[in-house]
């Protein structure tokens, strides 16, 4: 009977995968309260909304527009990041996703290595088309961000105006 030596492997303490890191970031973001304007202005807006129905309706409409613009901005940012992604990565992801349906008998390694050589002119044309798309999306993103800033400014103006109307002497503006 042979006795094999015990191998002590180092523990991977503090090792986190990308998905673990993303999950922790998401949880920390969920823990922190998300304010549209600021803690004080959001609290005042809530108070005024509870007390005044017309203020509540106007402010709620602005919040809906703000949230809608925020969702559109997130979608555009995702599209831009996908377009800016390395073309080989994009090709491999598309190839591996569609290859399972088309050719189930090939292994995943064979599917991912199935890259077709591309003519230099075609590659430059495709890259210029992608850059044009990115530029267009960036322009749209900037427009949406400026609209969102305008809506946020309107929301702040509403709360500040209401503060002045109610004569809050603690907060002279």
Query: Residue 24: helix, strand or coil by DSSP?
Result: helix
Instruction: Read off the tokens for 20.
Output: 């673990």
Q: What is the distance between the alpha carbons of residues 45 and 36, in angstroms, rounded to a whole number?
A: 10
The pLDDT of residue 5 is 58
The pLDDT of residue 63 is 92
The pLDDT of residue 8 is 57
Instruction: Read off the tokens for 10.
Output: 């180092």
What's the mean per-residue pLDDT of the chain? 75
pLDDT digits (tens, 9 = 90+) for 38-59: 888 888 889 998 988 999 999 9
Asked whether residue 135 carries a pLDDT value surpassing 80, the answer given is: yes
Instruction: Give the residue with greater pLDDT, 20 vs 154.
Output: 154
DSSP character for 9? P
Of 23-27, 79-83, 99-103, least confident by mean pLDDT is: 99-103
Instruction: Read off the tokens for 35.
Output: 């304010």
Is 0.75 surpassed by the pTM of this model? no
Instruction: Read off the tokens for 82.
Output: 């996908």
> Mean pLDDT across the stretch 14-30?
59
């Amino acid at each position: 009977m042979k006795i094999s030596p015990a191998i002590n492997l180092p523990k991977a303490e503090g090792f986190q995968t990308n998905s673990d890191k993303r999950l922790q970031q998401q949880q920390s973001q969920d823990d922190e309260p998300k304010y549209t304007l600021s803690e004080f202005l959001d609290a005042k807006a809530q108070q005024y909304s509870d007390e005044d129905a017309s203020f509540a309706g106007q402010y709620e409409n602005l919040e809906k527009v703000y949230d809608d613009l925020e969702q559109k901005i997130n979608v555009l940012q995702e599209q831009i990041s996908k377009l800016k992604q390395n073309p080989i990565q994009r090709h491999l992801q598309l190839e591996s996703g569609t290859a399972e349906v088309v050719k189930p008998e090939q292994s995943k390694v064979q599917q991912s290595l199935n890259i077709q050589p591309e003519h230099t002119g075609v590659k430059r044309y495709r890259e210029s088309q992608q850059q044009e798309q990115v530029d267009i999306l960036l322009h749209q993103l900037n427009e949406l961000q400026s609209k969102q800033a305008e809506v946020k400014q309107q929301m702040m103006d509403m709360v500040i105006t209401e503060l002045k109307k109610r004569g809050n002497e603690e907060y002279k503006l």
